[in-house]
Structure 1
């Protein structure tokens, strides 16, 4: 008989174990609580880098309060009580016992710079994933009045973030992420694209002199393999200055093996015989769709890189830049197609690299002992 869970029964197995960075954050905060002077060894880390509100509140309190006298700190818990009081203003669930736990779980306070760099690395991963997800949402936002310009602005913001991460964690040459590119989460609806591509092909067949004016459109911009192949046939005939009509395009398609997939010649002829509108209009529509699709693929690929915890910040930067290059190539063609000024990419501002300080810590053969006053009194609520 299957077990019926008691509504009042605690399902501890359903609570996921904290990720490694949670323990790193604990070690860093414990080091700073044990030896507040270690804060001077840290550069480039802020409260936003921490994964929980409680840890962020504690770091803010440590970073805001004046550091205690080192000798006095070994004798009393006055400064620790002040940190707890300040931290509770942002995270009311903080307790004195948790501060005690943080101090106890820190193996080596002198390793605080290394802990800080690990926390910053995980923060960079979260920031990159959030920016990539926001770009995906922007691509699919049907309410945007100018989707291409907005998407390109978001892509530029993502590129600026990648530059910022690279400044903190300079990429190593040849180090690419190990995660393969992920396919789109859902299959796109190609109904409108198919209809517009058919109109483009038919209109270009009826007005082949206009094909040269849209040389920025390439077969890869089409959503259907048959349509991409027919566009190649059209552009080839125009380049050769040969007659262009549905029959000559059909014959070129046969020579290229495009009908081997089961496409009926009669269907191709009918597709090419119903022109409407202008070649430039339908070409811009196809290119716009291709640009948005490229932005979606690039953003999803970057998000997939961040999902793999084995990818380092160096690899994330390298993979993200390669993915964003796909958007850049179509962006250039869009500018040629429309002649419109595009949003300028914001310049990356110099940032301080997160990393260990060059100051050497004194060597020690074993972890330092906790001061008696800290061990005995940190558990007392102020």
Structure 2
């Protein structure tokens, strides 16, 4: 009676992934080297780490380790092939003599060994770039890091160095930009803690506007809530114009910007900017760091989308990834400005003392009194 395949057997077969193109490139290269060992010189700096298959990597290592045979002797017997098999088998127990001979049959043209090598190196570059992007994304969302911004930027630097290295290995060509559609933007779900930090920034900025003058490194796009971003623009507009800043004047600016609605009354808005705590710089850095981490994760997602698309050439991956990384570097510049240590008193230029008005001694700035109650 003929055997009827069980449903579960069919399911198991369906779940077996088809070999990737690089699998056949590795087979072809190994077949070429087993057939004509002298072509090993055509592989350049290729090493076992470039192979996707562990078995293929072990076999390539063995081919490099066993001294090449005399071409005439190699054409007559399998002595060298047996030596390669014995060298590789401890590292790849499943390797067999039949697979060695099958690889030779799989090779279309042994004289194309250099072309097979380039295909293997290209796929290795894709996999390596994908791992770096995955590491960047994981770091950007790790809540246990003591200094998340510095760690993320270090990962970004490592990714940049990888791209520089790959750029030296693969020649540019026309159409260097990936045609991969960018991934859909992930809507950041702000927590109540995130929103509280933004509210506290708005309140402290209203209370201490003089400090806002030095916070040009923070922009509206760094906020998670559009209303808070618009209110930050209202406060900074008053500060940069040199106008008076307090809850009432912020309310007036917000009114002119069309921010008042049925759900945001004047009373609500004034209450939002009337409860300061801490300093604007502190809350601003917290918000900017969160924006930096979110941008890093978005960059990682974009690079992953490029590496997941097999249609992209190595040079397209390099160009697209560099452009994505540049978006993070622009935010890095603002982060460095925000966190740069203040110059020491000795390094600061000596300011000329202000001339006192004739009516009496100069008034002490209101900011001093305000800080005394913080």
| Bucket of the pairwise TM-score, normalised by the shorter protein | 0.7 to 0.9
1:294 match = 295
1:204 match = 205
2:87 match = 86
Aligned equivalents of 2:305 and 2:258: distance in 1? 36
- TM-score, normalising length from structure 2? 0.85
Aligned equivalents of 2:31 and 2:186: distance in 1? 41
Deviations 1:30-50 (A, max 9, x none): 111111111111213111111
1:103 match = 104
2:339 match = 338
1:328 match = 329
Aligned equivalents of 1:4 and 1:243: distance in 2? 82
> CA offset at residue 83 of structure 1?
1.0
1:120 match = 121
SS in 1 for 2:108: coil
> CA offset at residue 81 of structure 1?
0.7
Aligned equivalents of 1:219 and 1:185: distance in 2? 18
Judging changes above 3 Å, is the alpha-carbon distance between structure 1 residues 4 and 246 closer, same or farther for their aligned structure 2 residues?
Answer: farther
Judging changes above 3 Å, is the alpha-carbon distance between structure 1 residues 73 and 180 closer, same or farther for their aligned structure 2 residues?
Answer: same
Deviations 1:231-285 (A, max 9, x none): 1111111111112222322222232233469544433222111111101111111
Deviations 1:339-376 (A, max 9, x none): 159xxxxxxxxxxxxxxxxxxxxxxxxxxxxxxxxxxx
After superposition, residues 105-254 of structure 1 pair within 5 angstroms as 105-172=106-173, 175-183=176-184, 187-254=188-255
Judging changes above 3 Å, is the alpha-carbon distance between structure 1 residues 68 and 184 closer, same or farther for their aligned structure 2 residues?
Answer: farther
Q: Number of aligned residue pairs: give it.
A: 339
SS in 2 for 1:244: coil
> CA offset at residue 151 of structure 1?
1.2
Judging changes above 3 Å, is the alpha-carbon distance between structure 1 residues 325 and 250 closer, same or farther for their aligned structure 2 residues?
Answer: same
> CA offset at residue 174 of structure 1?
5.8
Aligned equivalents of 1:211 and 1:302: distance in 2? 35
Judging changes above 3 Å, is the alpha-carbon distance between structure 1 residues 11 and 184 closer, same or farther for their aligned structure 2 residues?
Answer: same
Aligned equivalents of 2:30 and 2:5: distance in 1? 42
> CA offset at residue 56 of structure 1?
0.5
Deviations 1:296-318 (A, max 9, x none): 11111111110111111111101
Report if aligned partners of 1:48, 1:56 keep a CA contact under 8 Å in 2: yes
Aligned equivalents of 2:281 and 2:321: distance in 1? 32
Deviations 1:127-166 (A, max 9, x none): 0000110111111222222211111111111111111111
Report if aligned partners of 1:222, 1:286 keep a CA contact under 8 Å in 2: yes
SS in 1 for 2:213: helix
Deviations 1:59-112 (A, max 9, x none): 111112111111111001011111111111111000111111111011111001
2:78 match = 77
Aligned equivalents of 2:272 and 2:257: distance in 1? 18
Aligned equivalents of 2:174 and 2:8: distance in 1? 55
1:358 match = none
Stretches of structure 1 lacking an aligned partner (at least 5 in a row)? 342-382
Q: Are residue 318 (structure 1) and residue 319 (structure 2) matched?
A: yes
After superposition, residues 19-30 of structure 1 pair within 5 angstroms as 19-30=20-31
2:277 match = 276
SS in 2 for 1:214: coil
1:33 match = 34
> CA offset at residue 13 of structure 1?
2.1
Aligned equivalents of 1:260 and 1:64: distance in 2? 76
- Structure number with greater CO (CA < 8 Å, separation at least 6) is 1
SS in 2 for 1:16: coil
Aligned equivalents of 1:125 and 1:8: distance in 2? 33
RMSD of the TM alignment (CA)?
A: 2.2
